[in-house]
Structure 1
Amino acid sequence: MADLVERLQAALADRYRIERELGSGGMATVYLAEDLKLNRQVALKVLRPELAAALGPERFVQEIDIAAKLTHPHILPLHDCGEAESFLYYVMPYVEGESLRDKLSKEGEQPVGDTVRILRDVVDALTEAHAHGVVHRDIKPENILLRGRHALVMDFGVAKAVSEATGRQQLTTEGIALGTPAYMSPEQAAADKHIDHRAEFYAVGALAYELLAGRPPFAGTTPQEVLAAHVTQAAEPVTKYRETVPPGLAQLVMRCLEKKPADRWQSAE
């Protein structure tokens, strides 16, 4: 690991100085770094080597460049991306705060008011992206940053680049998830190539369910069991786990979780 960081630092030495690792996930490792040109701290995300090899720089940079054009108060912007000595990386602002996953892990179910506020921010961000033809494909608590009372959605472009450039079978074999099972729509779970914005509404529904119930709508002992449940099982009403959820909010969440895209909300309006 130390050797990999040294190689990465040498490759990016003209522009970034790596300070420390902030975390690691299924697709990338994120580092706190200093942008030497603009004298600011940034979050530098580096794709896992096996994923970078499967993906290739052209497709990666193309999708990141499209996502980088998104500007919205609830979208974490992208500053830079590229290839250096076989590393594929992208750069975002470093935000002091915590991920929604961190908050859920510490606190469990969230107050209704906080849930609605977070969901509104996320949906506003997705609406802006959808208006520009960008579908995130991996909405989950880990990709939502909380800064004060605001939520920021990050990692636009990355999951789409991965899913379009490589086969799901290959990535599963390599241990890389395209999307996260707990939040994947039935069409994603079934490896449907025609994914649109309605898959995002399903993910938002799964996210809302967990915020309100303290658990996702489906669980299993393996990722495959969870994916199968998304396709074949109806979610229990969120009010089964929290009776005090307002009826209108519960109805909204459960409609997001309809199996057929045509039965879900068709827009955020």
Structure 2
Amino acid sequence: MIDRLNSALGDRYTIQRELGAGGMATVYLADDPKHQRKVAIKVLHPELSAVIGAERFLTEIRTTANLQHPHILPLFDSGEADGLLFYVMPWVDGESLRDRLDRERQLPVKEAVRITAAIASALDYAHRQGIIHRDIKPENILLHDGQPLVADFGIALALTAAGSSGRMTETGLSLGTPHYMSPEQASGEGTVDPRSDVYALGCVLYETLVGDPPFPGSTPQAVLAKVLTTNPERTIVHRESVPPHVDSVIAKSMERIPA
């Protein structure tokens, strides 16, 4: 794949190595010789590219490119090359919140709240632009010098459009991660709006404080069943040092019937 990408993008970028892969895309580290900087290129998986389509992707990505917020990872470039849909972001010399939680399990309460407040500010800004992220999770929160950056706004609009057309359902693809899905996302029946992002952010804050996601489960189906039918245990049950007002905010954000 690296050879294919270098062949397709060699006039603009030089692919160095794979940084990681997820359910929707693979990320590569690359050099941008024109601007003398390192970048991260996210290449959508072929089946997802087929669902979205190049025209829809390139149209919707333009709106995302206008997002400018100190806690949103900006978009440098996007396009189609050799049948592959891609977008280009800054390379963040740091780690994801998932990396840090894997290492430390829990964060200090003040730091967890600080990170969450910054992400909430970014989401509020995006929501006012009419953009819902739909996949807030520790993997999509990058930490650079301690400051959080929300990543993957790049495909939110395109996937939303594909979902509204029914093509996501037809192919069995879905946007969201079970541990952080709101009930309306999990059921596929309710309207997904900014409150779904608030729910997911509540799940993230819960995990940073407790060390585990709100709804543990051995399979995605088991997790989703809990999301749809139960309320999580309060954070103070697991960690007495969580202030009551923080515990209440988390419980409010994760109500199964959004207010």
Shorter-chain TM-score: what band? Answer: over 0.9
The answer as to whether partners of 1:60 and 1:158 remain within 8 angstroms in 2 is yes
5+ long unaligned stretches in structure 2: none
Partner of 2:25: 28
Residue in structure 2 matching 1:205, options 186, 197, 202: 202
**Separation of aligned partners in 1, 2:232 and 2:86:** 37
The answer as to whether partners of 1:159 and 1:179 remain within 8 angstroms in 2 is no
Comparing 138-147 with 218-227, which one deviates more in the overlay?
Answer: 218-227
Post-superposition shift, 1:219? Answer: 1.5
Residue in structure 2 matching 1:140, options 130, 137, 142: 137
Q: Which runs of 4+ in 1 moved over 2 A?
A: 166-172
**Separation of aligned partners in 2, 1:255 and 1:115:** 17
Once the two structures are superposed, the pairs formed by residues 7-156 of structure 1 within 5 Å of their partners are: 7-156=4-153
Post-superposition shift, 1:193? Answer: 6.0
**Separation of aligned partners in 2, 1:228 and 1:171:** 22
The answer as to whether partners of 2:17 and 2:28 remain within 8 angstroms in 1 is yes
Q: Structure 1, residues 148-168: CA drift from partner, whole Å, max 9, x if none?
A: 121000110413422431544
Q: Cα–Cα, structure 1 residues 169 and 225, in superposed 2: closer, same or farther, change >3 Å?
A: farther
Instruction: Report the AA paired with residue 14 of structure 2.
Output: R
Identity of aligned residues (%): 53
Structure 2 counterpart SS, 1:206: helix
Asked whether 1:255 is paired with 2:252, we answer yes
The answer as to whether partners of 2:132 and 2:156 remain within 8 angstroms in 1 is no
Number of paired residues? 256
Instruction: Report the AA paired with residue 188 of structure 1.
Output: Q
Instruction: Report the AA paired with residue 254 of structure 1.
Output: A
Instruction: Report the AA paired with residue 44 of structure 2.
Output: L
Structure 1 counterpart SS, 2:43: strand
Q: Structure 1, residues 181-234: CA drift from partner, whole Å, max 9, x if none?
A: 100000000113621101111001100110110011102121111112111111
Q: Structure 1, residues 223-265: CA drift from partner, whole Å, max 9, x if none?
A: 1111121111111111111111100000001100001121xxx
Once the two structures are superposed, the pairs formed by residues 192-231 of structure 1 within 5 Å of their partners are: 192=189, 194-231=191-228
Partner of 1:158: 155
The answer as to whether partners of 1:75 and 1:154 remain within 8 angstroms in 2 is yes
Q: Structure 1, residues 118-151: CA drift from partner, whole Å, max 9, x if none?
A: 0011001101111111111100000000011210
Q: Report the TM-score, using the length of structure 1 for normalisation.
A: 0.91
Partner of 1:178: 175
**Separation of aligned partners in 1, 2:171 and 2:201:** 24
Structure 1 counterpart SS, 2:153: coil
**Separation of aligned partners in 1, 2:69 and 2:202:** 22
The answer as to whether partners of 1:16 and 1:34 remain within 8 angstroms in 2 is yes
Post-superposition shift, 1:37? Answer: 2.2
Q: Report the TM-score, using the length of structure 2 for normalisation.
A: 0.95
Post-superposition shift, 1:8? Answer: 1.6
The answer as to whether partners of 2:162 and 2:168 remain within 8 angstroms in 1 is no
Instruction: Report the AA paired with residue 226 of structure 2.
Output: A
Comparing 237-246 with 188-197, which one deviates more in the overlay?
Answer: 188-197
The answer as to whether partners of 1:168 and 1:191 remain within 8 angstroms in 2 is no
